[in-house]
Chains A and B, each alone.
Chain A
Amino acid sequence: MSQIEVRDLNVWFDKNHALKNVNMDIEGKRITAIIGPSGCGKSTFIRTINRMNDTIPSCSVKGSIKVDGNDLYGEDIDVTQIRKRIGMVFQKPNPFPKSIYENIVFAPRIHGVRDRKALDAIVERSLRRAALWDEVKDRLDKSAYNLSGGQQQRLCIARALAVEPEIVLFDEPCSALDPIATAKIEDLLIDLKNDYTVVIVTHNMQQAARVADTTAFFYLGELIEHGDTQRLFEKPDEKLTEQYITGRMG
């Protein structure tokens, strides 16, 4: 059974039908890339996976998304718990205006962790997991804003990992980063899939080709094709996919 099962998912923003009858299975502990031209519904799609779209009043969602068999849009669902299990990293690094340490412990504190030793352990584990520990271990009390863009993004990844999620969603995590910082994040993503399910939205098709196990192509709110990344980039089944990845559309 797939970890995430999306069935007949439709999303509207007022009258704008942003996602149309999306059916998709996302395997656990794998990297799934979502590609497609701007406005195709990629970000909308991953934002439905941790109910981030709930914060937009005009948004309405129909259909079901099951994670490990539980419907995220079912009744009696605690959205905070969903977002603890399903973390998210955004396009622009968005650390809190706090120290590196406080950035990491912010969410665990909300979830009730008070013990200083436990928090210290979470900080070290999360920063190590995000391949940032060695670079910042001597200045944990310094402002996160002093870090470089790539480091800030890895801090955001560490922050997402601090609450031990099962799934981490990345919305264009490298589009604001230089190639070296991008390469570090990509290495990190591949490393992360040993422990987490990763879904990444990217404009960079080469990035999808490099890191993802499976790739899904969205176009005008529809899922056109989803399959093994290598096959999708070598011999896509759908003509639209071919046109998009060869740069003749979009």
Chain B
Amino acid sequence: MTRVRYTEELEQLDREIVQMGETAKDMVRKGVQAFLTSDVALRDEVVRLDLDIYRQEQMVEKHCIELVALHQPVASDLRTVTTCLKIITDLNRIGRYGRDIAELSDHGDLDSSFRRIVTVPLMAELSMAMVTDSIAAFVARDDRAARELFARDDEVDSLWNTIFRESLTYMIEDPRNITAGTHFILVARYLERIADHSCNIGDRVMFMVTGARLDPYARKGSSHKPGHAAPSDDDRERKVTSTDGYYTIPLDEK
């Protein structure tokens, strides 16, 4: 093995991405928790984490630039570095959505009807699992696992649509629900975007591994077009599958 230091630097880059992914997930996890439990202290913690993830993004970017300037990576190494440069933007956005969700936590007491929107934690769980798996695919250089993310994005889109319609119903029933309803719609939209960003990461991982760029219209197996969050009718019927379950919210205690 030659280029020992260079190889170590590339491995370090992997670790930095994993760490940044953990921060991003932590922000989303705590953001959703703060939102559902109106926990202002937790919200403030997420706001602090925002600075952390911003610094991490700068650090990875600096590291990538150093690698290019000092080691002139080519082929798969170059794709790894450019992939890192791209996915840190996605990870930063994921973290920022966590903060955006946390900042909606100050919505006062929830009307009982909104407590029935149990899909928010489920949606959070699905989106977070996608983030976890996209980073795992990056670390394992697994383009198949990366590709599987696109199908799972449809499930998240389906939940976003469910929450949107449910919130709308409560808002129509009673205008006092409009603030909370709008917050729920925003949270669902942010979670849906988080899943999209994990798909972006998957997209970059596929390029990193194979060197081939995917047709954006072909990456999903469904009739979706990029940028369209609302699922088509046939996707609405799609069953939501269970998740790995690390995400739990004590709903009954609220």
Binding site for B on A (CB under 8 A): 205-206, 209, 233-236, 242, 245-250
**Given contacts A234-B211, A235-B211, is CB(A205)–CB(B2) below 8 Å?**
no
A118 to chain B, nearest CB (A): 47
Within 8 A of A (CB), among B75-101: 75-79
A35 to chain B, nearest CB (A): 11
Which residue, of A206, A233, A234, A249, has the highest number of chain B Cβ atoms within 10 A?
Answer: A234
On whether the beta carbons of A245 and B1 are closer than 8 Å, the reply is no
| Alpha-carbon distance A246/B1, docked complex (angstroms) | 11
User: B114 in the interface, Cβ–Cβ < 8 Å?
Assistant: no
Contacts of A249 in B (CB 8 A): 2
Q: How many residues of B contact A (CB 8 A)?
A: 14
Which residue, of A233, A246, A248, has the highest number of chain B Cβ atoms within 10 A?
Answer: A246
A203 to chain B, nearest CB (A): 14
On whether the beta carbons of A245 and B2 are closer than 8 Å, the reply is no
| Alpha-carbon distance A169/B3, docked complex (angstroms) | 31
Binding site for A on B (CB under 8 A): 1-3, 6-7, 72-79, 211
B26 to chain A, nearest CB (A): 34
Contacts of B1 in A (CB 8 A): 248
B198 to chain A, nearest CB (A): 25
Q: What are 20 contact pairs spanning A and B, CB under 8 A?
A: A205-B74, A234-B74, A234-B75, A234-B79, A234-B211, A235-B79, A235-B211, A236-B75, A242-B76, A245-B74, A245-B75, A246-B3, A246-B74, A246-B76, A246-B77, A247-B3, A247-B6, A248-B3, A248-B7, A249-B2
On whether the beta carbons of B211 and A246 are closer than 8 Å, the reply is no
**Given contacts A247-B2, A247-B3, A248-B1, is CB(A242)–CB(B75) below 8 Å?**
yes
Which residue, of B2, B74, B76, B77, has the highest number of chain A Cβ atoms within 10 A?
Answer: B74
| Alpha-carbon distance A235/B74, docked complex (angstroms) | 9
B93 to chain A, nearest CB (A): 27
On whether the beta carbons of B75 and A235 are closer than 8 Å, the reply is yes
Which residue, of A236, A242, A247, has the highest number of chain B Cβ atoms within 10 A?
Answer: A247
B13 to chain A, nearest CB (A): 14
Residue of chain A at shortest CB distance from B6 = A247
B41 to chain A, nearest CB (A): 48
Contacts of B72 in A (CB 8 A): 206
| Alpha-carbon distance A28/B44, docked complex (angstroms) | 67
| Alpha-carbon distance A245/B79, docked complex (angstroms) | 13
Contacts of A246 in B (CB 8 A): 3, 73-77
| Alpha-carbon distance A234/B76, docked complex (angstroms) | 7
| Alpha-carbon distance A236/B79, docked complex (angstroms) | 12
B195 to chain A, nearest CB (A): 29
| Alpha-carbon distance A234/B211, docked complex (angstroms) | 8
| Alpha-carbon distance A246/B78, docked complex (angstroms) | 9
Q: Known pairs A234-B75, A235-B79, A246-B75. 4 more at Cβ < 8 A?
A: A209-B74, A234-B74, A246-B74, A248-B3
On whether the beta carbons of A234 and B78 are closer than 8 Å, the reply is yes
| Alpha-carbon distance A245/B72, docked complex (angstroms) | 10
Residue of chain B at shortest CB distance from A250 = B2
Contacts of A247 in B (CB 8 A): 2-3, 6
Contacts of B77 in A (CB 8 A): 246
A173 to chain B, nearest CB (A): 21
A125 to chain B, nearest CB (A): 37
| Alpha-carbon distance A182/B17, docked complex (angstroms) | 38
| Alpha-carbon distance A247/B1, docked complex (angstroms) | 9
| Alpha-carbon distance A242/B76, docked complex (angstroms) | 8
Residue of chain B at shortest CB distance from A205 = B74
On whether the beta carbons of A233 and B75 are closer than 8 Å, the reply is yes
B86 to chain A, nearest CB (A): 16
| Alpha-carbon distance A249/B75, docked complex (angstroms) | 14
B179 to chain A, nearest CB (A): 52
| Alpha-carbon distance A245/B73, docked complex (angstroms) | 9
B241 to chain A, nearest CB (A): 35
Contacts of B75 in A (CB 8 A): 233-236, 242, 245-246
Contacts of A236 in B (CB 8 A): 75
Contacts of B79 in A (CB 8 A): 234-235
For the complex of A and B, list the 3 residue pairs with the smallest distance between their C-beta atoms, beginning with the closest. Answer: A235-B211, A247-B3, A233-B74
B70 to chain A, nearest CB (A): 12
Residue of chain B at shortest CB distance from A241 = B75
| Alpha-carbon distance A236/B1, docked complex (angstroms) | 20
| Alpha-carbon distance A97/B24, docked complex (angstroms) | 69
